Amino acid sequence: MLLTDIYANHPDASEAVIDQERHVTYGELRDLVDRWAAVLQQQGVRPGDKVGLFSKNCLEFILTYLAIVRTGGVVVPINFQLVPREVAFIIRDAGIRLLVVRERLPMEEALQEAGCADCRQITFAEIGAAPAGPFAGVPQSPGDNCSIIYTSGTTGRPKGAMLSHINLCSNAADFSTAVPYNASDKVLCLLPMYHCFAWTVCVVSTLLRGGCVVIQSVYNFKTAMRLVKKHGVTVFTGVPAVFRLLCESRDLDSVETVRIFISGAAPLGLDLGRSFALKYGRAVLEGYGLSEASPVVTFNQDGKIRIGSIGVPIPHVAVKIAGPDGKELEPCERGELLVKGPNVMLGYLNRPEAMADTVADGWLHTGDVGYIDEDGFVFLVDRLKDLIISSGENVYPREIEEAAVQFEGVAEAAVIGVPDKLRGEAICIYVVPRPGARVDLKALRQYLLGRVAPYKVPREYFLVPELPKTGLGKVRKPELRKRAIEMLSENKLAGRVL
């Protein structure tokens, strides 16, 4: 199956996309994609060409993505929060000659610095207004690269994960079987479509099953609730911060039409998962994935739910927990989570050495530490790169964070390690209070002493109004680590609460 086959056979009159006041049927969607593909062909897009896509969520994002793929081109969705210098890096790395945008970007200086000043821009309005000749079909194979997703680059320059038609289509089919979508579903897409999670779970899976994608341009909680009510949304996908707001909401009727709640991108946490299930009488289905796996790997499923876990593997995807020597570990033993299946990427663009380090014998090394219990449920412990080694002991930040958010008044917590001559690394915690609450950091430390081993209790405590996050709600820990190091270099007792 090709990516553009996902919407090919649904009834013409069935609703495919709702974007504000615009309602598009499947018949109209097919016609629009072919028209936009014809315009892109006239712009010189040929099979294998890399075409950038820079925009917030909208109907035109979907049309452009599918039209690029229809021409045989390779779509490169770009995070719309990036500054021109960061966009220019991706343009140069991917060899992009055409960038499709909602509004033109001031890229001249950044492109010249990057050495790729010949990249043209074309807006959605220009594509929509251009006269289109007939679309000339091109031969394509399911194994062809059709999309490149750039990782966040928290450990260096971002890498482009090359995904094929098979990667995306099989992942959407397997996910929407495990978490069953149907043609009557209306799926709210409030997460950014440039990210693989929203694209696969909210867009591709919905169109594959003949449902309707309800688009939210940018995340706003009140707007999301309004869209749920207005359109009778049945599948609600969000990040943990969204579900925390739902837990605090008094308007329980706002989501009465929703039959499936899905959380991804960041750990939901045991406390929040239990609180939501208690309040709404339904569990949030938490899952796990990564761009290199298109992205879905595991999910809690109807009848197979364990709050606090990331579920079980979706169909046709295998997982195992391995030790440093690569050998599979016994149930409940902690090690690195490895993934194998048709969803695993083709490779990293221009980085064969990185691919060799990431995929071995068909197994994708995720860099995440976890374990599998006796019933087959997978639990994440932390990122390998976030592991703190303090006085020779392995410390996983997530364990401390989950304990901290159960302390009165704490909304969020993030734990990082900083260099320490005595211990190797010292543990620091950033704490975000709940609105109107006051958090006693000294009392928090005493609380943690009763919840985790003494060597895991943070040495420094910092109160902050919010945590720096990515567009999908992941905490930017490298930024927090940098802040802590700077503060401690100026005052070695900063953050002490003893």
How many other CB atoms are there within 10 angstroms of residue 56's CB atom?
A: 16
Cα–Cα distance measured from residue 362 to residue 224, given in angstroms and rounded to the nearest whole number:
40
> What pTM did the predictor assign?
0.84
Give the residue among 183, 193, 179 at the shortest CA–CA distance from 261. Answer: 179
pLDDT of residue 347: 96
pLDDT at 153 over 60: no
The verdict on domain 1-383 having CATH code 3.40.50.300 is: no
pLDDT at 152 over 70: no
* CA atoms within a 13 Å half-sphere pointing along the CA-CB vector of 415: 26
Cα–Cα distance measured from residue 125 to residue 130, given in angstroms and rounded to the nearest whole number:
9
The pLDDT confidence band at residue 156, using thresholds 50, 70 and 90, is: low
Sign (positive/negative) of CA torsion 338, 191, 273, 442?
positive
Cα–Cα distance measured from residue 179 to residue 302, given in angstroms and rounded to the nearest whole number:
7
- Do 142 and 119 contact (CB within 8 A), yes or no? no
pLDDT of residue 155: 44
- Looking at every residue in the chain, the average pLDDT score rounds to 92
pLDDT tens-digit readout, 283-321: 999 999 999 999 999 999 878 899 889 999 999 999 999
Parse the chain into domains and list their residue ranges: 1-383, 387-490
pLDDT tens-digit readout, 334-374: 999 999 999 999 999 999 998 888 999 999 999 899 999 99
H-type helices in 120-164, by residue range?
124-129
H-type helices in 296-396, by residue range?
352-358
pLDDT at 154 over 60: no
Mean pLDDT (whole number) for 164-178: 98
Give the pair of three-digit tokens for residue 314. 């979706």
Mean pLDDT (whole number) for 88-98: 96
Cα–Cα distance measured from residue 154 to residue 230, given in angstroms and rounded to the nearest whole number:
38
The pLDDT confidence band at residue 17, using thresholds 50, 70 and 90, is: very high
pLDDT of residue 11: 98
CATH class of the domain comprising 387-490: alpha beta
Q: What string of DSSP letters covers 214-278?
A: EE-SS--HHHHHHHHHHHT--EEEE-HHHHHHHHH-S-GGGGTT--EEEE-SS---HHHHHHHHH
Backbone angles phi, psi at 228, to 5 degrees: -60, -45
pLDDT at 97 over 80: yes
The pLDDT confidence band at residue 66, using thresholds 50, 70 and 90, is: very high
Residue 89's H or E segment, with its range, is helix 84-94
pLDDT of residue 270: 84
Residue 430's H or E segment, with its range, is strand 424-433
- Do 417 and 346 contact (CB within 8 A), yes or no? no
Q: Of all residues in the chain, what percent carry a pLDDT higher than 70?
A: 99
Cα–Cα distance measured from residue 319 to residue 340, given in angstroms and rounded to the nearest whole number:
6
In DSSP terms, which residues pair with 321 in a beta bridge? 337
Mean pLDDT (whole number) for 313-331: 95
Q: What string of DSSP letters covers 11-72?
A: -TTSEEEEETTEEEEHHHHHHHHHHHHHHHHHTT--TT-EEEEE-SSSHHHHHHHHHHHHTT
How many other CB atoms are there within 10 angstroms of residue 187's CB atom?
A: 25
pLDDT tens-digit readout, 451-463: 888 889 999 999 9
Mean pLDDT (whole number) for 216-228: 91
